[in-house]
Amino acid sequence: MTVHTPIQSANRRIPGWAMGFTLAVVVAGGAYFGTNLSGHNPPIGGPPPSAGPPDAHMVIAKAGCMACHGPDLTGQVGPNLHHVKDGPTSANLKQLGTDHPDDWANIWIAGTDPAVSDPAMRMGMPAFAAPPYKLTPEEIASVVAYLKTLP
């Protein structure tokens, strides 16, 4: 014997509130579509559309700089990142700052310091982080530009 469990419905009409809600959503969706046609898609896998240059705060947060340099970047395990607009504050970076006065910070963060002869030691920032946490050149430039604004 086949079990038959038909389901009845109390009424077949579409109530006014249901039709009204549906129409309101369709109108709102159509209006949203019509008023947001100017824009561009980012490359797939690239940065979100609303970002121009990478936001330094977002980069610093996602890369975990505060874990070593402190919540306000005044130093903890890692050195104080304030005053870098005047040049490197760490003794081991003085020579780098002399040799590359404009982009010493970019070189150090990227891990391409030529003074560090052993490539294995050129870890770059964030230290001890495995890919994909290494920063892109655009992110490094954004972070350095931000650090140079710190008092």
Partner 1 sequence: MAVNPKKLRPYDQPPRIREPIVPSQPDAAATTYLVAAVLWFGVATALGALWATQQIFPGPLSLKTELPTFRGTLTFEISPATVSGGFWTALVYGWLTNAGLGAILFITPRLLGRRLIWEKIATGSAAALNVGLMAGLAFVYLPQIAAKGTLAEFPLPIDGVILLALFMANVVFWRTLLAAGQLVPYISLWFFGLALLASMGLYFLDSAFPLIGPSDTALALANGAYVRGVETLWVTGVAIGTLYYLIPRATGNPLYSAGIAYLGWVSWAGLSTLSMLGALADTSVPFVITQLGNAATLMLVAPAFLAVANLALSIRGRWSMILSPGTVPLAVVALAFFTASALLESIGSLNSVRGLVGRTEWVTGVQLFAYFGMATFAFLAMADHAFPRLLRRDWRETILADVALWATFAGTAVAGLALIGGGIDAIAGTMRWFLGGAAAGIGLIGLGALAEVVNLFFIYTSAPRVEYSVRDEVVVPTGEAAAGAAGQ
Show the site string, 49-78: x = touches partner 1 by CB under 8 A, - = not: xxx-----xx--xxxx-xx-----------
Show the site string, 89-128: x = touches partner 1 by CB under 8 A, - = not: ----------------------------------------
Q: How far is the CB of 31 from partner 1 (least distance, A)?
A: 9
Q: Measured between alpha carbons, how far is 105 from 110 in angstroms, rounded to an integer?
A: 8
Q: Measured between alpha carbons, how far is 63 from 147 in angstroms, rounded to an integer?
A: 15
Q: How far is the CB of 32 from partner 1 (least distance, A)?
A: 6
Q: Which residues contact 68 (CB under 8 A, 6 or more apart)?
A: 76, 77, 78, 126, 127
Q: Which residues contact 123 (CB under 8 A, 6 or more apart)?
A: 111
Q: How far is the CB of 35 from partner 1 (least distance, A)?
A: 10
Q: How far is the CB of 134 from partner 1 (least distance, A)?
A: 14
Q: Which of 96, 81, 80 is nearest to 145 (CA)?
A: 81
Amino acid at 58: M
Q: Which of 41, 53, 36 is nearest to 143 (CA)?
A: 53
Amino acid at 127: A
Only segment of 38-46, 78-86, 92-100, 138-146 that touches partner 1 (CB under 8 A): 38-46
Which tokens belong to 100? 């590359």
User: If binding is defined by CB under 8 A, does position 131 make contact with partner 1?
Assistant: no
Of these, 18, 123, 127, 145, which contacts partner 1 (CB under 8 A)?
Answer: 18
Q: What is the contact surface with partner 1 in residues (CB under 8 A)?
A: 2-15, 18-19, 21-22, 25-26, 28-30, 32-33, 36-45, 48-51, 57-58, 61-64, 66-67, 130
